[in-house]
Amino acid sequence: MNVKALIRRAKEAPEVKAKPSSNDSFESEPEALGLACLPSPAWRELGLRSAQLAQEWLPEASEAAILRNLQRRPGDFVALRSKRTARFGGDPGPPFVPEPLPDWLNELCAAVSSAAGLPMPNHVLVNHYQPGQGILPHTDGPAYMPWAAILSLGSAAVFDFWRDHAHAASGEAPALSLLLPPRSLLVFSEEAYSCHLHGLAERRFDRLQEVANPPQPEVPASWHEQLKDGCLERQERYSLTIRHVPCGESRGCDSSADSSPPERNLCH
Ligand SMILES: O=C(O)CCC(=O)C(=O)O
Ligand SMILES: [Fe+2]
């Protein structure tokens, strides 16, 4: 049978909904994260103005709850060449087509907003990487307010900043390499957001010697199995890129929430 016939037959067949088994969590409600009273984070600025990192920001129980919430909804993800992604909050456009965030992501966004002193985020992109996968150097662009918060879950990975496209293509060392441990929150804005590129190399091992923030005073005992000759082996990692899509009249959505970034040239 050819492909057209297979498609016709699939369309004509009655829709059969898979019945979840009793231990299947697909139908269960997403969990709250318990983030109401997080202590103020200890931010560290690490070699690049307007980039700061809070290590051990998220409690382990909240990390586990986020991962369970994401694993409950495999249909939210699309597979790309080098990762899987799930988008919450709508198409950033333009035009921005806002969609409400699920309650547990609103809870996370409120905690990020209060920890980093940022406006309430309205958009979350989840990236799911297997060991060896990464994301090419890029900027997040003008669709968002000029800041991003990245929450890492499941594995540490090294996150690089590059001065510009020529630098990223030059084969030289990045302007800054940061170790993002699981449960850390990276926030970057202004120059670091608008001028620099950022990305994660597609490799299985990250060299700890090359990062601006090697583990202090020593590598945590729970990482020892992944540590070989000063290199840390990546595990499966999720990152949540938490941002705010401005919602001005010109973008075709609620102007009362207008928070378009001012036009400023920050790059030298
Ligand atoms: O996974 C990461 O840490 C980076 C994600 C990122 O740069 C993005 O979503 O734009
Ligand atoms: Fe990005």
Atom of ligand 1 nearest to the CA of 157: 3
**Ligand 1: which of 153, 159, 202, 240 to mutate, judged by most atoms within 8 Å of the beta carbon?**
159
Domains, the chain, ordered by start = 42-257 (2.60.120.590)
Kindly indicate whether the ipTM for this predicted assembly is greater than 0.95, answering yes or no.
Answer: yes
**pLDDT value at position 3?**
38
**pLDDT value at position 11?**
40
Segment-wise mean pLDDT, segments of 10 residues, the chain, 268 residues: 40 39 60 95 93 97 98 95 96 95 98 97 98 98 97 98 98 98 98 96 97 94 96 98 83 46 59
**pLDDT value at position 26?**
52
Q: What contacts 24+ positions apart, CB below 8 Å, involve 117-121?
A: 118/147, 118/149, 118/187, 118/244, 119/145, 119/244, 119/259, 120/244, 121/149, 121/242, 121/243, 121/244
Place of tokens 């969990």: 31
**pLDDT value at position 28?**
81
**pLDDT value at position 5?**
40
**pLDDT value at position 247?**
83
**pLDDT value at position 199?**
98
Atom of ligand 1 nearest to the CA of 125: 9
Whether 105 contacts 219, CB under 8 Å: no
